Amino acid sequence: MSDPTSTGTPDQQEIRQEFMRAGAQNIALPGVTAEESALPVGDVGKPRSLWQDAWEDLRRNPLFIIGTILVLVLVVMAAFPQLFTSVDPRSCSLSNSRQPPSSEAWFGYDLQGCDVYARTIYGARASILVGIFTTAAVMVIGGLIGIVSGFFGGWTDSIASRITDIFLALPLLLGSILLLTAFPSTAETPELVVIGKVVFALAILGWTQLARIMRSSVIQVKNQDYVQAARALGASSNRVITRHVLPNSLAPVIVVAMISLGAYIGAEATLSFLGIGLQPPVISWGIAINDAATYVRTSPHMLFFPALFLSVTVFAFIMLGDAVRDALDPKLR
């Protein structure tokens, strides 16, 4: 590195020397390279991005480990229920009606004489599907509306925000009850259509929270210098959104989405309990709880096991969401 006093025109050198004599502040000291030598080079280990940092945090978080194990078990249960039970949940015999737990049927039998353990295992599929599909739908709808209103601002924002407010004013459960009552399912409706209806009812009313979070997150990110810097260096609006705004504003949305995944499973159970969500022959925890409700006092096992699984599932997703939030935003801890 050359001596800075030797650069510039003779005039500039003169001015510089004069300032140096006078000891003026903020004039460069020649030859100081403290910064370079103080830098650790090479031995800093593998570079880590924010997401990698978050992952390092998560790996050590017992909350995350427990949550992940629970969720993994539940997902496997939903995908391959036959791994957990060899009993067919649909082969029932009325002679077993409301039998309490025994060595033959660990969780006892329900009103129709079906194995409660098998039905609880098979019930995971509907609940998890509803939870995942609803969360995905909510993230897409809410995320898109949030980005558009946050990024473009002005009248676009006004319209999008008012639409959000209108949907926010409709209570989730009441609205879904109305929707599902208007388009009821029967025993003949295919299973996926029944699930789809519930997902639709929950998603169409549930996206507002995510839209609002996305919007405020985008507004915060869009005013960051790196967004302006990207524009100054020639990035298009599309590029600014996908490369700079979206990745930086996603964290709070992911956290809330994970926590609400549990809540959607709970809402599905509520709707099924009310008899308008999932319908038999679909097997679901909500339906099982509904069936058991009448016999709580005489046969509590019919209620206890599906309710336990439901609670643990909701709990697992909330725990996971909390852990992810801690990792992504340590300030909230």
Burial 90-112 (b: 16+ CB within 10 A, else e): eebeeebebbeeeeebebbbbee
**Of positions 171, 184, 190, 247, contacts other proteins by CB under 8 A:** 247
Burial class (CB in 10 A: 0-12, 13-18, 19+), 330: exposed
- Dist CA 142 CA 167 (whole Å): 11
Residue 312 within binding range of other proteins, rule CB under 8 A:
no
DSSP one-letter string for 233-288: TT--HHHIIIIIIHHHHHHHHHHHHHHHHHHHHHHHHHHHHTTSSS-TTS--HHHH
- Which candidate, 134, 135, 133, 75, places its Cα nearest to that of 258? 135
Is 254 among the residues that bind other proteins (CB under 8 A)? Answer: no
Contact 108, 299 (CB under 8 A): yes
Running DSSP on this structure, what letter comes out for residue 297? T
Q: Segment 256-285, which members bind other proteins (CB under 8 A)?
A: none
Q: Return the residue of 62, 86, 193, 225 that touches other proteins, per CB under 8 A.
A: 225
Q: Which of 169, 187, 234, 298 binds other proteins (CB under 8 A)?
A: 234
Q: Mask of contacts with other proteins, 12-41, x by CB under 8 A?
A: x-xxx--x--xxxxxxxxx-xxxxx-xx-x
Figure out which of the listed residues 228, 242, 281, 329 binds other proteins, where binding follows CB under 8 A. Answer: 228
Give the nearest distance from C-beta 227 to other proteins in angstroms. 8
Q: Does the protein bind other proteins through residue 7 (CB under 8 A)?
A: yes
Told to check if 62 binds other proteins by CB under 8 A, we report no
Q: Is 171 in the site for other proteins (CB under 8 A)?
A: no
Q: Can residue 330 be called a binding residue for other proteins (CB under 8 A)?
A: no
Q: How far apart are alpha carbons 54 and 157 in whole angstroms?
A: 32
**From CA 267, how far away is CA 176, in angstroms rounded?**
9
When asked if residue 47 is in the footprint of other proteins (CB under 8 A), the reply is: yes
Based on the shown chain and the rule CB under 8 A, indicate whether residue 42 belongs to the binding site for other proteins: yes
Nearest distance from C-beta of residue 118 to other proteins, angstroms: 46
The footprint of other proteins (CB under 8 A) covers: 1-2, 4, 7-9, 11-12, 14-16, 19, 22-30, 32-36, 38-39, 41-42, 44, 47-51, 154, 224-226, 228-236, 239, 243-244, 247-248
